[in-house]
Chain A
Amino acid sequence: MDAAEKISVEDEAVDKKIFKDCSKIAFYRRQKQRLSKKSTYRALLDSVTEGKESTRFQIINEAAKVPLLAEVYGIEGNIFRLKINEEAPLKPRYEVPDVLTSKPSTVRLISCSGDTGSLVLANGKGDLKCHITANPFKIDLVSEEEVVMSINSLGQLYFEQLQIPPKQSRATKENEEDTSDDTTQENQEELGLWEEKFRNFVDVKDNGPASIGLDFSLHGFEHVYGIPQHAESHQLKNTSDGDAYRLYNLDVYGYKIHDKMGIYGSVPYLLAHKLGRTLGIFWLNASETLVEINTEPAVKYALTQMGPVAAKEKGRSQTDVHWMSESGIIDVFLLTGPTPSDVFKQYSYLTGTQAMPPLFSLGYHQCRWNYKDEHDVKAVDAGFDEHDIPYDVMWLDIEHTEGKRYFTWDKKRFPNPKRMQELLRSKKRKLVVISDPHIKIDPDYLVYAKAKEQGFFVRNHEGGDFEGVCWPGLSSYLDFTSPKVREWYSSLFAFSVYQGSTDILYIWNDMNEPSVFRGPELTMQKNAIHHGNWEHRELHNIYGFYQQMATAEGLIQRSKGKERPFVLTRSFFAGSQKYGAVWTGDNTAEWSYLKISIPMLLTLSVTGISFCGADVGGFIGNPEAELLVRWYQAGAYQPFFRGHATKNTKRREPWLFGEEHTRLIQEAIRERYALLPYWYSLFYSAHVASQPVMRPLWVEFPDELETFSVEDEYMLGSALLVHPVTEPKATVVDVFLPGSSEVWYDSKTFAHWEGACTVKIPVALDTIPVFQRGGSVVPIKTTIGRSTGCMTDSPYGLWVALSTKGSAVGEFYLDDGHSFQYLHQKQFLHRKFSFTSGVLINSCADKRGHYPSKCVVEQILVLGLKKHPSSVTSHSPDGKLDGFWITAQFLT
């Protein structure tokens, strides 16, 4: 239709050949080749020095001669940190800044040297130890005398020390022994030391080879998770040769599912779980990274062993995890758990917790590329009211701008953006508009001109501004890695600067991998130059993180620090949870993509990113009505809930599929709105207590082996089990209800089952299989308004589902839903409900908080009472009814 399409990713990205597989990655080939030669490192334990924060020692391998410096830190909360770097590199190597929330507090490790040739570092209590073996170099992580993890036990430690470029060093190089095999032309091509070719692209590496790698053996572990983002199963699979999990942020339109290639974002963080222990490995590196996984199940060992002792000793299963990065240093955090909840806290202690979202952002979002004009927006908005479907946010994609110049409006289509926002505001709704990192090269475009003038763009290898093609045509890319650029970018969101913006306008950052249409693998050349003269290769994976950071900061600043921001980003890194929401990019309107959305979101959730979602309906293609309904039903129970569709799809607003389907979609969205108090409380728990909102079953049932691989159902908090229907024409689904001592209640029919069984649940098109766990209290809204803002004063209900012992507990969190006053003025209400012996007690869960609310609880549903209550009374201390009180009526 227009120029944008001609340069869109659509015609290119579907072609997998434009992306690399492992065989096309030179540092992977180098590590594989070198590691096959086995030259082991040993630690020089006589070099040990104990600094204030860390214990340092040298490690050396025979080939390299020049020693490396290893540092071990003890960090608060049972975390170890291992750093390995060159002692005196030719120039500094990149260490990822801005991800750790603050400098982690170190705890002093007590060194008690073991036998000769080893060193033991213990935490204060002495229940956690690092056992360092000198030769060959190895670290065992010992918890209560059990070795839970070994580092470099497979000898895959790999570290390419910086070298002088060959032209300068020819004279000195002659006598170095391992250069001889690098000199031939063919070898140079193969090893890609100073130059690496891919398709028509040549990556010239001024710093030469600088890759690193290390292996971790997890003893007794068969289940590992994490390292998003891949369109893959929740439990990580064994990687075969040449098929490692790749972490490299790329714009992959209609990505293939069940594939380990890198897509939009990366969190280099892996969790491992077994009965009795959960561990985390956080590999803090922002360059291209590959992860190999090899799990040897226990049986395999046990069968080959003779004596029972040997079988016990050797019969343990093991998972080996091999990390490889193109550049930077080895900087790895070992999170020792022992419970899943502990690991979540440890990880968020390092990278921060989920930002507390404004309440509206937990409602339903309506997006399309593109709502054409103000009139279209008005009509769609009216459609929701006409069909009585709640929604909170209208979205505008790139076409709302003047020629894809972000921060501007297409004057013909959107002549009066403020009027449009006033319309939305009158219904307490919001607007989200897109703002991408590429800036159209146009001297008359103020954003471009200012950025150009101040040198705020990423530079190319030759030193000029980097130029690449994206939506607007030729563009330059803001260098968000620079604090000055971020500060300036943030200032663009000020109401006085961003013409046509109001305080109900929020932001969406797309294409921030960054996507560069004609670049290698549709992204930026690795030798582009960022702030501080760092090459793009060093920080590629964190580029998008920085844009979202600057955007969120801009939204906070425009409100003078008062209002919470909402920013959706496509690209992300470890710690992106601090800045907003993430979605799974350009998925497809097929059942398989609906199905994979669950493991993809579970993986994001356990790696800190609770506020995540997948485009409802599938971005690409036209969903049939049944798929669309099922997707709304699934999306209603996923954290970020947005319908979105690409440009060449048919319209698919909820009311366009006939009355029956309209009703089903309306019903699903209403269920979402009814549960908003629960969602909001869960987000508060993610925000202050680091617990994911959407939880894989193994997180809630860590002692039940059967839960470890489940990915077709999950827990919302600890109270609701959701098993979305993801098959066409389903009439029945097999729902696994875990926990032998649990009881589960169907949230609609109230039928109940004992745990630890799989039940066949008949499903009609209006069935969303959701089960409440006995022992929980879920707060809900009893009346649904047209948006969250319209429901502020509407009454609450409580779903009390009793455990086998006849009790239940639950929490409830409430604040103004939009400001930081919950934080700065403690204006919040955090209540705890507990039901025991027929008494439901509503008590304060956090005395610091105060928040007046007109709301009442008007309905309490108690499931699992053994007897019909003969009478119901309500009681309030001092006869004084607090802001939150109960008019009780029991329904059983």
Chain B
Amino acid sequence: MLLVLLLLPMCWAVEVKRPRGVSLTNHHFYDESKPFTCLDGSASVPFDQVNDDYCDCKDGSDEPGTAACPNGSFHCTNTGYKPLYISSRWVNDGVCDCCDGTDEYNSGIVCENTCKEKGRKERETLQQMAEVTREGFRLKKILIEDWKRAREEKQKKLTELQAGKKSLEDQVELLRTLKEEAEKPEKEAKDQHRKLWEEQLAASKAQREQELATSAFQELDDDMDGAVSVAELQTHPELDTDGDGALSEGEAQTLLGGDTQTDAASFSDRIWAAIRDKYRSEVLPTDLPSPSAPALTEPKEEQPLGPSQPAEEEDEEEEETEEEEGGEEGEDEDSQVPGEQPKETPPPVVPPQTVSPTEEDKMPPYDEQTQAFINAAQEARNKFEEAERSLKDVEESIRNLEQEISFDFGPNGEFAYLYSQCYELTTNEYVYRLCPFKLVSQKPKLGGSPTSLGTWGSWAGPDHDKFSAMKYEQGTGCWQGPNRSTTVRLLCGKETVVTSTTEPSRCEYLMELMTPAACPEPPPEPPASGNRDEL
């Protein structure tokens, strides 16, 4: 820099004589009074072989101004713009590479000198960039401060929560004990109640059986002699046991337990049980209770779920969540506690319907005493569960806070503000949505469900500039291809906005996000006017 400045007056005054394609800095290597030594020292040639369109030096340094060497460099001064080295193979190839056109001195084409224009544009751009960087960096400092504060607050809250958690835990334990204590008498009372009822049921069932046996006996006892004989039994061929469709004498006798007849008492005690399933009453229809009678029904505390119900509920649930997304913003904010993955809302608790069994065999309501026990236990349970829920909430808040506090938001936490935000970009076909540190998605503009382009993976900039890019991975799988993934490049800007989304390789997306957080510290003082390097 200093050297260049010192040389300045001279340059303005006279054109420094130097071979074509040689930069000012190198011109002293090309002294026409001496043989030329290749810059790599590999050879030495008479000076008139410099730029004679034949390559002598391995490094191409003898032909900076011709295309003779495969590896030479041509220097364009580009006055008004930036100086530039181009491959010397591009000299006189009919393409204007230097804005001053000096690379095409013998190809028959005329290159316009565009350096001034380019320099002007470049300066404008640089100025704009500098302005953006300054402003961006100012904002970045605020962001850093904000995060520092927010982090402290969060830390404080975390400490509070951790303390609160302890007492909550104690309370949960206490309530658990109370609940268990209240449940003991409840269980005893309920068991007692059930036992009574079961006994009652059994008795009434036995009585019904007895009645059936008696009536069957009476039917069978055709001669009404108070005893059923083999012959009488044979009038009921459905009682056939060997499957030949008729009840033989022998079979009948076997049914009668080897006797030729039976009286009413032993009929109902021993024989009725064996034949009741096959026995067809002569008086039709009889309402014989089937032996596989319905299981005992009792009031249940939980709603029994029919097989089709869960599916319906899921549907409902989806609808509900969608609605939630659409409207209730207040809740949205709540549920989007930093660090929390959007959680599935638990299925709404359907109030237990009071079952109204239509059958007679319904357990009678609990007596007052039992019901009181139940109520007490239920209250204890509710209290316990409530406490447990609040503990879980606290634990989750702690987890989230810990996660957020320990998250790598850049060297000074400048990217933290992106944590709970989402940004969208609408293109011709899609709406792209970037929720930094969470996910990227793509949704067709004309409706349709969103496709995941990846969830947060890691910082993905090069080693020296790790925070210049983010990687989102494991998105929806591609047909015959990889899972979708997205790289987000972070660019310095005054505002936070997604500026472009492309898909350079199939299912590998590239997004650009402007953010003040990506603004580097501007040089201490903006350069005065014009850049001295750009002669």
Contacts and interface: CB of A to CB of B under 8 A. Distances in A.
- Among the interface residues A10, A648, A792, which one has the most CB atoms of the partner chain B within 10 A? A648
A783 B68 contact: yes
B369 interface: no
A412 interface: yes
B479 interface: yes
Contacts of B67: 783, 785, 794
A187 to B, nearest CB: 44
Interface string B48-75: 0000011000000000000111100000
A649 B94 contact: no
B191 to A, nearest CB: 64
Contacts of B93: 428, 785-786, 790-791, 794
Contacts of A889: 54
Nearest to B428: A412
Nearest to B67: A783
Interface string A759-800: 000000000000000000000001111100111111100000
Nearest to A413: B428
Interface in A369-413: 372, 376, 388, 412
A860 to B, nearest CB: 13
Given A784-B89, A785-B90, A786-B93, A858 B54 contact: yes
B502 A648 contact: no
Q: Which of B94, B428, B478, B504 has the most CB of A within 10 A?
A: B94
A784 B70 contact: yes
Contacts of B504: 376, 651
B98 to A, nearest CB: 14
A647 interface: yes
Given A428-B94, A786-B95, A793-B107, A647 B506 contact: yes
A427 interface: yes
Contacts of A427: 95
B324 to A, nearest CB: 31
A5 interface: yes
A426 interface: yes
A786 B89 CA distance: 8
Interface in B493-518: 502-508
Given A428-B95, A791-B93, A649 B506 contact: yes
A649 B506 CA distance: 6
A36 to B, nearest CB: 46
A648 B506 contact: yes
Contacts of A793: 92, 107
Contacts of A412: 428
Interface in B223-265: none
A412 B67 CA distance: 40
Interface string B457-493: 0000000000000000000001111000000000000
A15 to B, nearest CB: 14
Interface residues of A, number: 30
A742 to B, nearest CB: 31
The SS class assigned to the A binding surface is: loop
A784 B479 CA distance: 42
Given A10-B480, A428-B94, A648-B480, A785 B89 contact: yes
B178 to A, nearest CB: 61
B87 interface: yes
A427 B94 CA distance: 8
Interface residues of B, number: 27
A790 B480 contact: no
A685 B69 CA distance: 31
A650 interface: yes
Max chain B C-beta neighbours (<10 A), residue from A5, A10, A649, A782? A782
A426 B53 CA distance: 25
Contacts of B507: 1, 648
B104 to A, nearest CB: 11
Contacts of B92: 793
Which of A648, A783, A791, A794 has its CB near the most chain B CB atoms (within 10 A)?
A: A783
B70 A426 contact: no
Which of A428, A650, A887 is most buried by chain B, counting CB atoms within 10 A of its CB?
A650
Contacts of A648: 478-481, 506-507
B505 A650 contact: yes
Nearest to B63: A783
Interface in B7-53: 53
A637 to B, nearest CB: 20
Contacts of A791: 93
Nearest to A646: B506
Nearest to A889: B54
Contacts of B90: 785-786, 790
Given A1-B506, A651-B504, A783-B70, A790 B87 contact: no
B87 A372 contact: no
Given A426-B95, A427-B95, A428-B95, A649 B70 contact: no
A388 B87 contact: yes
A785 B68 CA distance: 11
26 contacts: A5-B479, A10-B480, A376-B502, A426-B96, A428-B95, A647-B506, A649-B506, A650-B505, A650-B506, A650-B508, A651-B504, A782-B68, A783-B69, A786-B89, A786-B90, A789-B94, A790-B90, A790-B93, A790-B94, A793-B92, A794-B67, A794-B93, A858-B53, A858-B54, A858-B68, A889-B54
Interface of A: 1, 5, 10, 372, 376, 388, 412, 426-428, 647-651, 782-786, 789-795, 858, 887, 889
Q: Which 9 A-B residue pairs are closest in the complex by CB-CB distance?
A: A790-B93, A651-B505, A648-B481, A785-B93, A648-B506, A650-B505, A783-B67, A412-B428, A648-B480
